[in-house]
Amino acid sequence: MTEKEKMLMGEVYNACDEQLLIELNACKDRIQDYNNLRPTDFAARREMLQEILGACDEHVFINQPFYCDYGKNIRVGKRFFANFHFTVLDEAVVTIGDDVFVGPNVSIYTACHSTNPTERNTRQEWARPVTIGNNCWIGGSVTILPGVTIGHNTTIGAGSVVTCDIPDNVVAVGNPCKAVKRIDN
């Protein structure tokens, strides 16, 4: 099994694998090109996002600057919007539903590292997927940690750190993020 296959399957893999580094750096070059496009060049921005991301529709909109590791492991639904400084460490698949709005300075992490410094220094890591349902609003400066699922119709309050799954139809806030209000449709 390749290191990439291990990475995508959630197994421990070598983050310094030559092929992974080639793909990682190729994506970073594309991201730099995207971030340097004129903000009003909507057609070029959309086209480039369709090249970078694993899946998106023609209405995808991500304000610059945007950062990600591989890009192809990010799948966004219809009418996705993300504000400035959206960062996605997509070592595992990140799936985001339809009509999701993401505030500025939001980070989604899938990469996991040992807390043991000796183990961490081997550059062995693993990744856990993140899923965000349909009709969600992720407030500014939210951090979403590896392995989290956020339910449909949910709002995550600004500044929250999402460490565990959040159910459908709630407003959730805090560090760690917790549901504080039910949303009735």
DSSP E strand boundaries for the chain: 13-14, 61-62, 66-68, 74-76, 81-82, 86-89, 94-96, 101-102, 107-109, 111-112, 124-127, 130-132, 137-138, 143-144, 149-150, 155-156, 161-162, 170-174, 177-182
Identify whether 113 is a catalytic site residue.
yes
Identity at 124, one-letter amino acid code: Q
Cα 136 to Cα 120: distance, rounded to the nearest angstrom: 34
Identity at 62, one-letter amino acid code: I
- Residues 153/165, Cβ–Cβ less than 8 Å: no
Nearest by Cα to 53 from 23, 34, 74: 74
Which among 59, 85, 113, 152 is annotated as catalytic?
A: 113
- Residues 44/62, Cβ–Cβ less than 8 Å: no
Residues taking part in catalysis: 113
